[in-house]
Amino acid sequence: MEIIFFHSKSQRRNVGFLLFFPVLFLACYREPVTIIEGVEVPLTPDILSHEKIDSVIDGFEKIKFFELDTAYISYSDPLDKFEKKLKKLEYSIVKGRDVFKKIVGPFRVMHFLSHDKYYSANLNNVDANLEQYWLVDKKMLHMLLDLILELERLGYDKYGFMVRCGHRNPRCNIASKGSGQSQHQFGRAADLEIKDINKDGKSTDEDKQIVLEILEKIVDDDGGLGLYPGTMSVHLDSRGHRARWNSYKSPY
């Protein structure tokens, strides 16, 4: 039996015509994406408040050091030196496409993860939903956001830097020749590469000095600042007390 909703053929034609456009739109519409490491990632707003940072971090399932699988513990801490310090901390479990989530400004979880074999295995097949363990201190991310907001307020390029590294488990820390006491091992540090902050078309020591001056006030007595003269790198951390160094080699 045929159910007829419309009184005449012309009414049916009109409705058909009106339906054509939304259907065509839905058929053609694709969510805007960006390509990262060969993977299509949806465009999402930048993270520009402390509350948003906290809610992304809080969204990850957590695991304690003693709950981690033993293969990961012996891989990530091969010298078996850090159990005492690491067991006080809570790891976030990052799975599959979680690595692409923005965590502060335009920077993503992947920028702050240990770049180890778990990281590569996940990126090689994000749909397998492989797990990685991540240490990150919200306070350090808040400091980075405060830097972004202050650069913007002063009229500079708020995103005129890159995040080179965040959490380094002890194995990654040895590989990158970090100090044995590096705050990166506890997720409290980030290394930045300074670009063209003052928008004059080049990246020079002037750009770096702008960043250092702002970070000096933000980090203050709550953490460490490594100046690395002669490079465009800066280290900041949220260790909870003041530390400063002005050498080429990092003591932290």
CA distances, 208 to each of 11, 22, 160, 216 (Å): 68, 51, 10, 12
Q: Minimal distance in Å, beta carbon 140 to Zn ion? A: 11
Burial category of 142 from C-beta neighbours within 10 Å (exposed 0-12, middle 13-18, buried 19 and up)? middle
Q: Determine the interface stretch with Zn ion among 30-38, 167-175, 186-194, 207-215 (rule: CB under 5 A).
A: 186-194
- Where does this chain touch Zn ion (CB under 5 A) — which range of 114-122, 128-136, 199-207, 233-241? 233-241
Q: For Zn ion, how many residues bind (rule: CB under 5 A)? A: 3
By the 8 A CB rule, do 150 and 214 touch?
A: yes
| Alpha carbon distance 150, 77 (integer Å) | 37
State the nearest-atom distance from the C-beta of 25 to Zn ion, in Å. Answer: 49
Q: Which one, 20 or 248, has the nearer CB to Zn ion?
A: 248
Return phi, psi of residue 63, to 5°.
-145, 140
Among the listed residues 99, 98, 103, the one whose alpha carbon sits nearest the alpha carbon of residue 53: 103
Q: Which is nearer to Zn ion, 96 or 179 (CB)?
A: 179
Shortest reach from residue 248's CB to Zn ion, in Å = 13
Query: Whose Cβ is closer to Zn ion: residue 104's or residue 189's?
Result: 189
Q: How far is the CB of 59 from Zn ion (least distance, A)?
A: 26
Pairing verdict, β 102-104 and 107-108: antiparallel
Does 239 interact with Zn ion (rule: CB under 5 A)? Answer: no
- Min separation Cβ 33 and Zn ion, Å: 32
105: left (phi over 0), alpha (psi -120 to 50) or beta: left
Tokens of residue 115, six digits: 């770049």
Residue 57 is which amino acid?
Answer: I
Site membership for Zn ion, residue 188 (CB under 5 A): no
H or E element at residue 14: helix 9-28
With CB under 5 A as the contact rule, the residue among 132, 191, 211, 239 that binds Zn ion is 191
Smaller CB distance to Zn ion: residue 151 or 172? 172
Question: Judged by CB under 5 A, which of 47, 235, 238, 239 binds Zn ion?
Answer: 235
Query: Cβ closer to Zn ion: 173 or 198?
Result: 173
> Using the rule CB under 5 A, is 137 a contact of Zn ion?
no
Smallest Cα–Cα separation from 185: which of 170, 163, 204, 199?
A: 170
List of residues contacting Zn ion (CB under 5 A): 189, 191, 235
